[in-house]
Amino acid sequence: MKRYPEAKILIDGDWRMHDPRSVINPFNETEVGAYAHATVADLEDAVSAAKRGIHAWGKLGPVGREEIMTRAANLLRERADEIARTITLEQGKTLREARAEVLRAAGNIEWDGHEGRRIYGRIVPSADAYHHEVYRQPIGIVAGFSPWNFPIASPSRKIGSALAAGCSVILKAAEDTPAGAFELARAFVDAGIPRGVLNLVYGDPPTISEYLISHPEVRMVTFTGSVPVGKHLTALAGDHMKPVLMELGGHSPVFISRTADIDEAADAAVAAKANNAGQVCVSPTRFFVEDAVYDRFASRFVERAKMLRIGNGLNDDTDMGPLINSRRVSAVEALIADAKAGGAHVLAGGERIGDRGFAFPITILGNVSDATRAMQEEPFGPMALLSRVSGVEEAVEKANSVRYGLAGYAFTRSALDIKILSQRLEVGNLAINHFSSSEPDLPFGGIKDSGIGREGGIEGPLAHTVVKTVMTLLV
């Protein structure tokens, strides 16, 4: 069985390992490996390498870039089982979820590679003596920052869109889960990507972000993570007049209509809530249930949630893994305590499991006041908050009352409900009668405090380009 890899940094095609820091398994708090800690000198080298690499990448053209990206995607598929085990060790999610994440990363890279061939300019009709053209060109070096909850899928979005557009990349991956990004970068190296096109670092987040964002050779910043950090990085980028792509937090509303298949909706809610132990920006959190079916939905939701087997993600019979660290446990416990103080009833879960590791059950709260912290702050954990509503109008009003606007869900058979939700729910992604919110060929991102710009679809690569207009007087 393959051991947890040394998560080295990648600069100019070379792997570096120095000042190693520990990686902790969130199930049992044991050390599973180490990652390299980048210095400012490493960052300087990474920028220089990316500056050289973008020229080599550009010479390959769209077809050459597509070939390398497709090879990298295929290598990820071939290595899916071993990479999945690595991700489970560092992040805690089940092997099933980890393997699906690796395959999703491969799909993202493959889609972006193909889409890079379709970044077109245009010719604009003009007077006889003139010729007007519009070009889309790579924006330049992109600094990407990826989170710990999806160690390989999130970096694949950062890397794929930038590479497809012809950019070079410096990726700062998460220190809690470094090996997912390492395996992604290794696949690109093995696929033959030119030196310097892709660079990978870990280290002190403020040092890395401030250095890269302020560097004049870095032309764009892309980040997935919390709202406060995203706002901070956006402000830094604004000081240097650099565009950003921000995929930030969410607090996803779910409308359960009296017309829905209630058992099906509750079962789907349990599966969605268990995904990654609720540590997902699009995880369903605020359930607005029509009064006529509230008791039935709550009963089924609680029954199925209590059946989940929570434990070591490496075990085949585990349904849900642990939270990532003690900080997440404390954060969830604080939100539960505040909700209970505000009159909420704990219908399921509510307490950490055991005293070693960070396992926490799905916690379902009923009668949750809109004024509680849990209803206003992203829980980023296995919490589900149930509220009664009179219908879709009240559900939309309550759903839109928070500053988040990433994903939303609804279970309904009413065409009128669907029209109202589609037009009025303030989210970037809406799923009706299911909980899927992201596919490689569809744009993904939020509104309000949940972000700026879109990853995925044709919008992802286009976001990494600049537009140049050329007007020629023919003489």
Q: What percent of the chain has pLDDT over 90?
A: 98
Q: In the structure, what pLDDT confidence band is assigned to residue 437 with cuts at 50, 70 and 90?
A: confident
Amino acid letter, 100? A
Residue 233 pLDDT exceeds 70? yes
pLDDT grade for 438, boundaries at 50, 70 and 90: confident
CA–CA separation, 10 vs 229, rounded Å?
25
Name the residue type at position 454: R
- Of 215, 251, 208, the residue nearest 229 (C-alpha): 208
Of the candidates 452, 438, 381, the residue with the CA atom closest to the CA atom of residue 149 = 381
Enumerate the domain spans of the chain.
9-248+450-472, 252-439
Residues 6+ apart with CB under 8 A from 450: 227, 247, 248, 249, 250, 281, 404, 405, 406, 427, 428
C-alpha–C-alpha distance, residues 211 and 141, integer Å: 14
Q: What is the pLDDT of residue 46?
A: 98
Kindly report, residue by residue over 57-74, the tens digit of the pLDDT: 999 999 999 999 999 999
Would the pLDDT of 2 be above 80?
no
Q: Kindly state the DSSP code that residue 325 receives in the 8-state scheme.
A: S
Q: Find all residues with CB under 8 Å of 175, minimum gap 6, and list them.
A: 21, 35, 148, 202, 203, 205
Q: Which CATH architecture has domain 252-439?
A: 3-Layer(aba) Sandwich (3.40)
Q: Are 392 and 264 within 8 A, CB to CB?
A: no
pLDDT digits (tens, 9 = 90+) for 34-53: 999 999 999 999 999 999 99
Coil vs helix vs strand at 331? helix
Does the pLDDT of residue 1 top 60, yes or no? no
| Alpha-carbon separation of residue 135 from 120, 140, 217, 475 (angstroms) | 7, 15, 21, 22
pTM for the predicted model, two decimal places: 0.95
Average pLDDT value for residue range 17-40: 96
Domain at 9-248+450-472, CATH class: alpha beta
367-423 pLDDT, tens digit each: 999 999 999 999 999 999 999 999 999 999 999 999 999 999 999 999 999 999 999
DSSP for 360-393, please give it.
---EEEES--TTSHHHHS---SSEEEEEEESSHH
Residue 216 pLDDT grade (very low, low, confident, very high; cuts 50, 70, 90): very high
Residue 92's identity, in one-letter code, is G
Q: Is the pLDDT of residue 201 over 80?
A: yes
pLDDT digits (tens, 9 = 90+) for 254-273: 999 999 999 999 999 999 99
Strand pairing class (244-247; 451-452): antiparallel
Tokens of 464: 């990494």
Active centre residues (catalytic): 247, 281
Tell me the pLDDT band of 3, cut-offs 50, 70 and 90: confident
Amino acid at site 168: S
Residue 142 β-bridge partners? 169, 220
Residue 93's pLDDT band (cuts 50, 70, 90):
very high
